[in-house]
């Protein structure tokens, strides 16, 4: 006992200075960027939103505020997912045709805004139906008692409205949202599958392959033990004509998920297992609601964006607003809709940096030791600009980021120091954040073709690191 205690103590004492020298995080890791390994141009995989774009129907009987284009495009939003949910004045198709039309108008205005601003659109028919989980009128569901006639009428109306309003471009249809949650589908798995196959075939026959059809859009993540995915996998194996163009599901477990979980990288691996078990084809993946409400802070947002880039899945930010509040804050990237002037939140600046500042090509980057950290980096090889986004799942304290192979960037060859700008993107308790805060802006020595940036992370803040040739050296 005694000797082993002493051995442990000795080991700890020996390890402590070594850890300090390495400057490791409390979880024993470092961030790394290797500039010699270049990838493709950024695709901004995680820059989609669920709802969050104002529309008049949601503000009935008033007019909605107009979301300024510079806020939408400045965050690089490339997908909007909507279908007129939570509009009390118009409870959806289950109440009346008028109830459907109000929700359709909401959807149409959102579609037009998205398309005018260069974004794709993901349509949510379950919300047009009225199954938005807040609607007491939603007592009937597609294919109740094995009869899909009413659903057929709904789909005919919707398909006709999509065509007559010229809504087929940049359009995806998300066949039914979260069937594995009672609030959205209080029916059996078998009825869900019947509904899915029925709708898929009707959409495809009427709209052709141009409109992408996606599913199964579970709230839970795919893995070989997930019964909804087992059912879905077996169904599309048996019926290849209804294989989705895009696999979709949600990632909403919140910040308490064990072991820095709620991780798109893990979920995409789980999907691979399901595909293997059922012999299913490869398709793009869309995690079309991500981040629990307590994960919508700059640190977590940056981490999610990094995990999307690592997994190759597309992502759309979840929206926890209610009623017209579901329709006005770009899924909590902006505030102020009801105070007469929109303003930016901390998270907006994360998306701005990710989509607008991180130009060039992707550089190899990541974190050692712990998935609670990640990095996403790009380099503009011609101008010698490096852009690094650092996120965490709720970590604080020292975090070293080592940038290596500096000499592989032509502009950096032979430089003994480089200019490094470190910015913090604060959370500010979810309030207004006008811009990032400069932490340091100084020359950092290049040693062995590397430089190290020692971040001191605050809970919920994201950090950005921009590296360039010092101005004086550039002038020479």
Full DSSP string of 336-350: -GGGTS-EEBHHHHH
What is the 8-class DSSP label of residue 258?
Answer: G
Question: One symbol per residue from 299 to 338: x for binding ligand NAG (CB under 6 A), - otherwise; what is it?
Answer: ----------------------------------------
Q: Which is nearer to ligand NAG, 84 or 335 (CB)?
A: 84
In whole angstroms, the minimum distance from the beta carbon of 93 to ligand NAG comes to 12
User: For ligand NAG, which stretch binds (CB under 6 A), given 23-31, 96-104, 139-147, 424-432?
Assistant: 96-104
Question: One symbol per residue from 43 to 82: x for binding ligand NAG (CB under 6 A), - otherwise; what is it?
Answer: --------------x-------------------------
Q: Which is nearer to ligand NAG, 56 or 144 (CB)?
A: 56
Going by C-alpha positions, the residue among 357, 340, 454 that lies closest to residue 54 is 340
Going by C-alpha positions, the residue among 59, 117, 116, 58 that lies closest to residue 82 is 58
User: For ligand NAG, which stretch binds (CB under 6 A), given 99-107, 160-168, 188-196, 357-365?
Assistant: 99-107
413 Cβ contact partners less than 8 Å away, ≥ 6 residues apart: 407
Q: Is 323 within 8 Å of 295 (Cβ atoms)? A: no
Going by C-alpha positions, the residue among 213, 224, 279 that lies closest to residue 248 is 213
Contact positions with ligand NAG (CB under 6 A) in 156-185: none
Determine what percent of the chain falls in helix, strand and coil, rounding each to the nearest 5: 35, 25, 40
Q: Which is nearer to ligand NAG, 34 or 56 (CB)?
A: 56
Q: Which is nearer to ligand NAG, 162 or 372 (CB)?
A: 162
User: For ligand NAG, which stretch binds (CB under 6 A), given 100-108, 187-195, 258-266, 340-348?
Assistant: 100-108
User: For ligand NAG, which stretch binds (CB under 6 A), given 9-17, 94-102, 180-188, 263-271?
Assistant: 94-102
Contact positions with ligand NAG (CB under 6 A) in 3-42: none
What is the 8-class DSSP label of residue 450?
Answer: B
Q: Is 467 within 8 Å of 419 (Cβ atoms)? A: yes
Angle between helices 149-164 and 97-116 (to 10 degrees): 40
Residues 375 and 364: their CA atoms lie apart, in Å, by 9
In whole angstroms, the minimum distance from the beta carbon of 55 to ligand NAG comes to 11
Q: Is the dihedral of CA 92, 56, 168, 79 positive or negative?
A: negative
In whole angstroms, the minimum distance from the beta carbon of 108 to ligand NAG comes to 8
In whole angstroms, the minimum distance from the beta carbon of 106 to ligand NAG comes to 9
Residues 107 and 83: their CA atoms lie apart, in Å, by 5
Which of 52, 74, 92, 102 is in the footprint of ligand NAG by CB under 6 A?
A: 102
Burial of 304 (0-12, 13-18, 19+ CB in 10 A): buried
In whole angstroms, the minimum distance from the beta carbon of 56 to ligand NAG comes to 8
How many H-runs (helices) and E-runs (strands) does the chain carry? 11, 19
Q: Which is nearer to ligand NAG, 105 or 217 (CB)?
A: 105
User: For ligand NAG, which stretch binds (CB under 6 A), given 101-109, 182-190, 365-373, 398-406?
Assistant: 101-109
In whole angstroms, the minimum distance from the beta carbon of 161 to ligand NAG comes to 10
362 strand-pairing partners: 378
Decide if residue 98 touches ligand NAG (CB under 6 A). Answer: yes
In whole angstroms, the minimum distance from the beta carbon of 98 to ligand NAG comes to 5
In whole angstroms, the minimum distance from the beta carbon of 50 to ligand NAG comes to 22
In whole angstroms, the minimum distance from the beta carbon of 63 to ligand NAG comes to 13
Taking every pair of C-alpha atoms in the chain, what is the biggest distance, in angstroms?
A: 82
Residues 193 and 232: their CA atoms lie apart, in Å, by 7
In whole angstroms, the minimum distance from the beta carbon of 137 to ligand NAG comes to 15
User: For ligand NAG, which stretch binds (CB under 6 A), given 97-105, 231-239, 380-388, 463-471?
Assistant: 97-105
Count the site residues for ligand NAG by CB under 6 A. 5
Angle made by CA atoms 284, 288, 291, in degrees to the nearest 5: 125
Residues 323 and 9: their CA atoms lie apart, in Å, by 58
Q: Which is nearer to ligand NAG, 105 or 194 (CB)?
A: 105
Q: Give the other-Cβ count within 10 Å of 331's Cβ.
A: 27
Q: Which is nearer to ligand NAG, 83 or 216 (CB)?
A: 83
91 Cβ contact partners less than 8 Å away, ≥ 6 residues apart: 99, 130, 135, 137, 138
Q: Is 347 within 8 Å of 52 (Cβ atoms)? A: no
Q: Which is nearer to ligand NAG, 109 or 191 (CB)?
A: 109
What residues line the site for ligand NAG (CB under 6 A)? Answer: 57, 98, 101-102, 105
């Amino acid at each position: 006992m005694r000797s082993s205690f002493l051995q442990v103590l000795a080991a700890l004492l020996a390890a402590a200075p070594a850890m300090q020298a390495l400057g490791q995080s409390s979880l024993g890791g470092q961030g790394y960027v290797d500039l010699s390994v270049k990838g493709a141009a950024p695709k901004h995989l995680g820059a989609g939103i669920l709802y969050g774009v104002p529309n008049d129907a949601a503000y009935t009987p008033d007019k909605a505020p107009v979301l300024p284009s510079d806020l939408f495009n400045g965050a690089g939003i490339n997908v909007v997912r909507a279908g007129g949910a939570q509009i009390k004045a118009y409870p959806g198709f289950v109440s009346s045709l008028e109830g459907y039309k109000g929700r359709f108008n909401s959807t149409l205005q959102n579609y037009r805004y998205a398309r005018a601003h260069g974004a794709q659109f993901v349509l949510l028919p379950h919300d047009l139906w009225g199954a938005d989980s807040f609607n007491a009128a939603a007592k009937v569901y597609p294919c109740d008692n094995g009869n899909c006639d009413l659903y057929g009428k709904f789909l005919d109306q919707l398909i006709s409205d999509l065509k007559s309003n010229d809504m087929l471009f940049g359009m995806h249809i998300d066949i039914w949202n979260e069937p594995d949650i009672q609030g959205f589908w209080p029916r059996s798995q078998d009825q869900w599958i019947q509904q899915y196959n029925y709708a898929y075939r009707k959409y495809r026959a009427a709209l052709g392959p141009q409109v992408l059809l996606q599913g199964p859009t579970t709230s839970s993540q795919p893995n070989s033990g997930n019964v909804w995915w087992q059912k879905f996998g077996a169904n599309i194996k048996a019926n290849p004509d209804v294989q989705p163009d895009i696999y979709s599901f949600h990632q909403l477990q919140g910040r308490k998920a064990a072991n820095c979980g709620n991780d798109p990288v893990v979920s995409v691996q789980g999907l691979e297992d399901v595909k293997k078990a059922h012999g299913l084809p490869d398709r793009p993946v869309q995690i079309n609601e991500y981040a629990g409400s307590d994960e919508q802070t700059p640190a977590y947002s940056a981490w999610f964006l990094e995990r999307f880039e690592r997994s190759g899945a597309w992502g759309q930010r979840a929206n926890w607003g209610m009623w017209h509040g579901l329709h006005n804050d770009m899924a909590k990237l902006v505030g102020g809709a009801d105070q007469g002037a929109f303003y930016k939140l901390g998270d907006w600046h994360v998306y701005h940096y990710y989509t607008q500042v991180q130009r060039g090509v992707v550089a190899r980057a990541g974190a050692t030791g712990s998935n609670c950290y990640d990095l996403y980096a790009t380099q503009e090889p011609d101008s010698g600009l490096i852009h690094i986004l650092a996120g965490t799942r709720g970590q604080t304290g020292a975090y070293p980021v080592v940038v290596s192979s500096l000499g592989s960037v032509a502009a950096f060859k032979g430089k003994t120091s480089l200019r490094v700008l470190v910015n913090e993107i604060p959370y500010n308790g979810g309030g207004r954040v006008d811009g990032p805060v400069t932490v340091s802006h100084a020359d950092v020595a290049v040693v062995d073709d590397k430089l190290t940036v020692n971040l001191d992370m605050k809970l919920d803040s994201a950090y950005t690191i921009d590296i360039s040739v010092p101005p004086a050296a550039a002038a020479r």
